[in-house]
Structure formats: structure tokens, C-alpha cells
Amino acid sequence: MSHETVYSIASGKGGVGKTTTTVNLGTALAQAGKRVAIVDVDLGMANLAGFVSLTPDSTTLHDVLAGNEPVEDATYRLAENIVAVPSGIGLDEYAETSPEGLRDVVSELRSTYDYVLLDVGAGISHETILPLGLADAVVLVSTPEPAAIQDSRKTIELTARAGGTVAGLVLTRTHPGSDISHPDLADRLDLPLLETIPEDSAARESVYAGTPLVAYEPNGPAATAYRHLAAELAGIELDEDDEADTTGEPGEPESTDTDTATAEHTDATENEDGDDSGSTAETTATDDISSAITEAESDH
């Protein structure tokens, strides 16, 4: 699947771990040395804004889609190799957006980054369906619960209507001792099972620590599964020896003496030496990081 570089991370219903999957998949790819952009395309109910500690006058995807700002001005660095393009949180700004502008945004980011992950909102609307057709493939996220699986069928149908394809299914919050057959669930949806993400107590701890799970508890079962998913999608092999060595891992958010993560606003382009071009302005991401993931997982 290494030829596919733009993925929409989607789900049929809320609360299944879609944003957590987006963040951890992106971070795992960044840890592997890939340049990654994660984009909050849930224009009405933004989840990623807290990751970059936006101020009221910060530039967001809303400004870009309103035709007021270039996408590089709405791009914020999370850690080494990974940036976020958040949507705004104001209803007035949302009302001025044109979802059709996502085509140009995705095209520009595709030319700059190795991987672009689109965090798609749940539900059925034009702005939800559009990203399903813009991506090279859709990664469908669900829990093993019957209602979540049933709603996944709707997302598969919507993807087909949007002209997109589904790469496969990721099942989250799974239990190894369960009598539920995960491959059978994927077969019912006529999809390959990309990965199962086991229930992991470290996942919630990482939320409150404001750090992606793959950096917070890199050797835990869920973090390991997310790295396997990244390897599957990127077509790369995992070095098991490197997995155990977390010293100086790329993708781990920087921290200050008060243990807050640092997000850096950066231009979307890089020069030939790999340095950021243009000026950067540093902002401090506080507990908003944790609340952003918490909100996402409760899904509005």
C-alpha cells in the first residue's frame, strides 16, 4: 500500500477511537522518518484545535477554506516530522467555509508531505462525504460492537458513492480473550482486517499526559499495534530492536520544565536540507491537548 499517501480516517459512528487512531498512526509514521500532516476535516466539530493551543486570532482550516489564508499559515508543528492543520471552533468562521476547497488543500499537502491523514467527522453530510473521495484510500475505524459494525456499512456505501475506496478495517478496544472473531467481522464487511488495537489502560493515561500513546507507552500492546498499522500502510518493515529503544524517538512532543508539550507554527514547505523555510512562531500546548482527544473520543 506504499503508493497510497493520503488516507481518510473515518468511522460510521462516534466514540470508536477515530481521532486517537489518526494521531497515533501519524506519530508512528513520523517516528519512522516520514513527513506527516494530519488534517481536521471535521469542519463543524473541530477536534484537533487543542493540539496546537489556538488563540482566538489563530489561522485555521476555516480561514483557508474561506479563501482568506494559504494552507501553510494554518499548519502547526506538533513534533519532529509531524504537523497538524486544525479546523476552527467558531460557528461564524464555519459558516464562511467552502468544503470544495479541500481538494486544493489536499493537493498542496500531498506535494509537501509523505503522508496526509484526514480526520473525518462522523455522520452524513457533504463535508463528511467529500474527504472519502479525495483520499487515496479510507481507513475504516470501528469497535467490535454490533452497532459500530452496522454503521460501518454506511460509511463503506458513502465511500463508494464518493468515488473512493476502503483500504480496510481497524478494530479498536479489542479484548484478546473475547469470543468475537475479528476476521469474521471484517469478512462481514467484505474488507481486509488491517489491525486490531487492544484495550490498553495506558491509552487514557496518554490522553491526560497530552502525549500520543506510541510515544507515551511505546512498548504497550496498543502502541505496538499502531506501529504495525503504520508499517502495513507505508509498506515498511519494523525493526523490533528499535521498537524497544525509545531514547530520542522522533515524534515525541517536546516538553518544558512544567511538562507541557510544544507545538510550533510552521510553513508547509521545507528546503532541500530538510529545514523549515520561512519564519516560525512557537506556541505552548497546555491541557487543551488532553481535552481535544477526550472530546474527540466522546465524539461531540
CATH number at residue 169: 3.40.50.300
- Residue 1 forms part of a structural domain: no
Residue 9: is its pLDDT beyond 60? yes
What pLDDT, in 10s, does the model give residues 226-264?
999 999 999 988 665 444 433 333 333 333 232 333 344
Which of 162-171, 248-257, 270-279 is the least confident region? 248-257
Q: Is residue 2 part of a domain?
A: no
Q: Is residue 153 a part of any domain in this protein?
A: yes
In a domain, 195, yes or no: yes
**129 HSE (CA, 13 A, CB side):** 12
Q: What domain range includes position 155?
A: 7-298
Give the C-alpha separation, 39 to 109, whole Å: 10
Q: What residues contact residue 39 under an 8 Å CB cut-off, 6+ apart?
A: 61, 84, 85, 105, 106, 109, 116, 117, 118, 119
Among 36-40, 72-76, 107-111, 291-295, which stretch is predicted with the lowest mean pLDDT?
291-295
Phi-psi region of 72 (alpha: psi -120 to 50; beta: other; left: phi over 0): alpha
Q: How many domains does the chain have?
A: 1
Inside any domain, residue 76: yes
Nearest to 100 by CA among 126, 122, 123, 121: 126
